Amino acid sequence: MALNLSLPATEGIVPGVSPQVYAQADFERIAHLVRQEAGIVLSDGKHLLVYSRITPLLRDAGCTTFSEYLDKVGNDAEMRVKTVASLTTNHTYFNRESHHYDHFNETLRPDLIARAAAGETVRIWSAGCSSGEEVWTLMMFLLGAESSAGKAISRSKIVALASDLAEHAVTAAQKGSYPAEAMKEIPQKLRDNWCKQTGDTIEVGPEMRKMLRFRQLNLLRQWPFKAEFDVIFCRNVMIYFDQPSKEQLVARLARQLRPGGYLYIGHSERVSGEGADLLKPVGPTVYQRSMA
C-alpha cells in the first residue's frame, strides 16, 4: 500500500503525512538509532530530511508505516547500517579548505617523500572520505606538479586509506569519476598529470589508484589497524557528532597517529577531551601528535 500523502497539512510532523505513517515517536526512534550507531545528532528540524531519506528504504522493505519499518530495522543489522548511511551528510568538494593542502605540501610532503624513498612505509588516512574528493585532492598534491618525480613517488612505499561509514560514498570514492567542472579548483598541472578527462568527465589515474585502498568503516566502532598513521584527514565528520563521540574520536585519532604525525580537522571543529593533551596545534585546524 502506498504512503498516504493526501491528508491535511496539519495532520503529521511532515505536512500532508498522516501521524499514523510518520509520527514524532518514529522520528525520535530514528534519531536515537543514528546517535547510538554513528554518534550523529539529528536535531528536531530534521523531520523532513528523515522522511525524504527513509521513505525509499521503507518502500523497498515493503512497509507502509515508519513504525513497521523501524520494527524490522531493530531486528536486522544490515538494514540498520543502510538506515544510518542514508542519513549521513556527504557534502564535499575538491580542494576544500585549501590551506590544509598548502600546509601538507609545504610542511609534510618533503619529509614523507624522503622517508618513503628511504624505504619506510608512510601511511595516510582520509577518515570520513565521503565521495573521495578529499583524498584524491591529497593524492594529487602528494604526487605533485613534476610528472616523473610523481611517478617515482607513486612507486614508493606510501599507502593511503579512504574510509566512510556510508557504503554509497565509498563506492563513489573508489569509482573516482567526476564531472570535470568539479575539479576546477585543482591546479591545472596536477589534473593534467594525474587524471584523464574525456568530454565532461574526469577520472583519476592509475598512479594514484594503486596507492589508495577503500573501506566501509564506522569510526565509532572497532578499527582494524595494526600500524599508526603519519597523516590523518578527518574533516567535517565530527561536526555532526554529540560531545562524548567527538571526544572519543579525537582521542582515538590521536592515539592512531605515530608520534610527530599530523591530524587535519574541519574549520568549525575543535579538539577536546583527553586527545587534546596529545595534540599540539601547528596551524589552523592542524595538529601534531606529541613525540612522547
Ligand X SMILES: C[S@@+](CC[C@H](N)C(=O)[O-])C[C@H]1O[C@@H](n2cnc3c(N)ncnc32)[C@H](O)[C@@H]1O
Asked whether 250 and 272 are in contact (CB, 8 A), the reply is yes
Collect all residues with Cβ–Cβ distance below 8 Å to 40 and sequence separation of at least 6.
Answer: 34, 84, 87, 88, 240, 241
Grid cell for residue 24:
514524532
Asked whether 254 and 263 are in contact (CB, 8 A), the reply is yes
218 part of the interface to ligand X, by CB under 6 A: yes
Residues that contact ligand X, how many (by CB under 6 A): 23
User: Which residue among the candidates 35, 53, 80, 252 is catalytic per the annotation?
Assistant: 53
Please identify which residue in 55, 65, 83, 92 interacts with ligand X, judged by CB under 6 A: 92
Find, among 63, 143, 77, the residue nearest to 105 by Cα. 143
Please identify which residue in 42, 58, 128, 229 interacts with ligand X, judged by CB under 6 A: 128
Least separation in angstroms between CB 93 and ligand X: 7
Q: CA separation (Å) from 99 to 151, 237, 262?
A: 25, 18, 14
Please identify which residue in 116, 204, 237, 263 interacts with ligand X, judged by CB under 6 A: 237
Residue closer to ligand X by CB (options 105, 216) is: 216
Asked whether 253 and 275 are in contact (CB, 8 A), the reply is yes
- Tell how many helices (H) and how many strands (E) occur in the chain: 12, 10
One-letter amino acid at 88 equals T
Which of the stretches 46-54, 66-74, 165-173, 198-206 binds ligand X when contact is defined by CB under 6 A?
Answer: 165-173
Give dist(CA 29, CA 24) in Å, integer: 9
Least separation in angstroms between CB 190 and ligand X: 18
Grid cell for residue 97:
579548505
Asked whether 133 and 182 are in contact (CB, 8 A), the reply is yes
207 part of the interface to ligand X, by CB under 6 A: no
Find, among 18, 93, 86, 4, the residue nearest to 46 by Cα. 86
89 part of the interface to ligand X, by CB under 6 A: yes
Least separation in angstroms between CB 253 and ligand X: 12
Residue closer to ligand X by CB (options 116, 169) is: 169
What DSSP element (H or E) covers 178?
strand 177-179
Residue closer to ligand X by CB (options 12, 128) is: 128
Least separation in angstroms between CB 166 and ligand X: 4
212 part of the interface to ligand X, by CB under 6 A: no
Mark whether 123 is an active-site residue.
no
Please identify which residue in 40, 108, 204, 254 interacts with ligand X, judged by CB under 6 A: 40
Which of the stretches 25-33, 51-59, 164-172, 257-265 binds ligand X when contact is defined by CB under 6 A?
Answer: 164-172
Residue closer to ligand X by CB (options 129, 158) is: 129
248 part of the interface to ligand X, by CB under 6 A: no
Question: Can you tell me whether residue 248 is helix, strand or coil?
Answer: helix
What DSSP element (H or E) covers 261?
strand 257-265
Grid cell for residue 210:
594503486
Residue closer to ligand X by CB (options 132, 144) is: 132
Residue closer to ligand X by CB (options 90, 171) is: 90
Give me the residues that bind ligand X (CB under 6 A), please: 38-40, 88-92, 96, 128, 130, 134, 164-166, 169, 218-220, 235-237, 266
Q: Which residues participate in catalysis according to the annotation?
A: 53, 164
